[in-house]
Amino acid sequence: SERLFMEMADVMAAEGWRDAGYEFVCIDDCWMAPTRDEHGRLQADPKRFPGGIRKLADYVHSKGLKLGIYSDVGNKTCAGFPGSYNHYDLDAQTFASWGVDLLKFDGCNSGTLELLAEGYRRMSLALNKTGRSIVYSCEWPFYLRPVQQPNYTEIKQYCNHWRNFFDVYDSWSSIKSILDWTALHQDSIVKIAGPGGWNDPDMASIFVFLSQLVIGNFGLSWDQAVTQMAMWAIMAAPLFMSNDLRHISPEARGLLQNKEVITINQDPLGKQGYQITKDKNFELWERPLSGQAYAVAVLNQQEIGGPQNFTFSLTFLGNGLACNPACSIRQVLPASRDWGVYSWVSSLSVEVNPTGTVLLKV
């Protein structure tokens, strides 16, 4: 309902979320009335959004935030509401006239893969034609993948970020499957990411802005929440939160608003990180940052027992260049502290909790 989104905008403005960089309040599927109006335009459900989307957008903007909305490339949304098929220009103009700042464009009920691709291209052009700056969030590769390898070069021409994998759920198995999939496909997806276009580990049913972080809900342990925050930063993922900010613990808020992690995630160089080695239950990931720095994540996939040590040579990092001839190392997660200066030939021993991650800046 509009009241829910207004309350979420209030909390984002009042409790530091906006200042930490979370700008968008995003509405997902089911906001619409079951039919278009007499002019063929989409309309909000009159009971749950009595003021309409324009009023809600004005309210969200008054808080220094932006509004995101949902539609679908096919003739119906995933939940069965009116889709944008054959209405791309009209729907883009409608969203722009309402003051919408982001469109999540789903891929249900699209018919053939040719119609899917044509719809994503046409909506991109229609959004640009409105003259309003609207972030375009696509699900194009996710719907292509079961049948064919997505052409990411083409997708980046049209979309600002694109979803590759299934809905994220509030569970460790879901987070783990996303990380495993990303590592398996990193040769095809890492190189395309950069300013203007990003791989999205998931945009599922969401309330509010982090891609999508389920931190602050109920299914993840503390170490697993740290892992999600660290790895989404390594992956240069858009950060969308899927949680109720009115009922979030101070610990979860501190993690989601951690300025050092957000700075890594939003690094202007815009390069996505990747896995550089896997050894039994440990994974070592790195992400090149601006200023010749690197973010490094040590992930312990072990699910039982206590903390374990992982030791690796610093020559592993940055093709041997990250610490040549020396580097300073700072731990960012699970808690921030300086580790000091190390030489190129040093080894580093990192203690990591089960299903946890230690995030370093080198």
- pLDDT digits 0-9 by tens, 158-213: 999 999 876 666 788 888 888 998 999 999 999 999 999 999 986 432 223 344 56
Q: What are phi and psi of 214, to 5 degrees?
A: -100, 15
49-101: per-residue pLDDT in tens? 999 999 999 999 999 999 999 999 999 999 999 999 999 999 999 999 999 99
> Domain ranges in the chain?
2-266, 274-361
| Mean pLDDT of all residues in 27-56 | 97
For residues 287 and 272, the answer to whether their CB atoms sit within 8 Å is yes
In the chain, which residue ranges form alpha helices assigned H by DSSP? Answer: 2-14, 17-20, 52-62, 88-98, 113-129, 140-144, 152-158, 172-184, 186-189, 222-234, 250-256, 259-265
* pLDDT value of position 207: 29
Distance between CA atoms of residues 359 and 310, nearest Å = 13
Distance between CA atoms of residues 140 and 73, nearest Å = 9
Tell me the range of 127-131, 147-151, 177-181, 239-243 where mean pLDDT is highest: 127-131
Q: Which residues contact 278 (CB under 8 A, 6 or more apart)?
A: 183, 284
**Of the options 3.40.50.300, 2.60.40.1180, 3.30.465.10, 1.20.59.10, the CATH number for the domain spanning 274-361:** 2.60.40.1180
Please tell me what DSSP assigns to residue 126. Answer: H
Nearest to 32 by CA among 16, 51, 17, 46: 46
CATH topology of domain 2-266: TIM Barrel (3.20.20)
Contacts 24+ apart (CB under 8 A), 291-294: 292/322, 293/361, 293/362, 294/318, 294/322, 294/361, 294/362
Tell me the catalytic residues: 106, 167
Distance between CA atoms of residues 320 and 124, nearest Å = 41
Q: Do domains 2-266 and 274-361 have the same CATH topology?
A: no
Q: Which residues contact 308 (CB under 8 A, 6 or more apart)?
A: 281, 282, 300, 302, 351, 352, 354
* pLDDT value of position 157: 97
Please tell me what DSSP assigns to residue 207. Answer: S
**What's at 175, amino acid-wise?**
I
Q: What are phi and psi of 337, to 5 degrees?
A: -165, 150
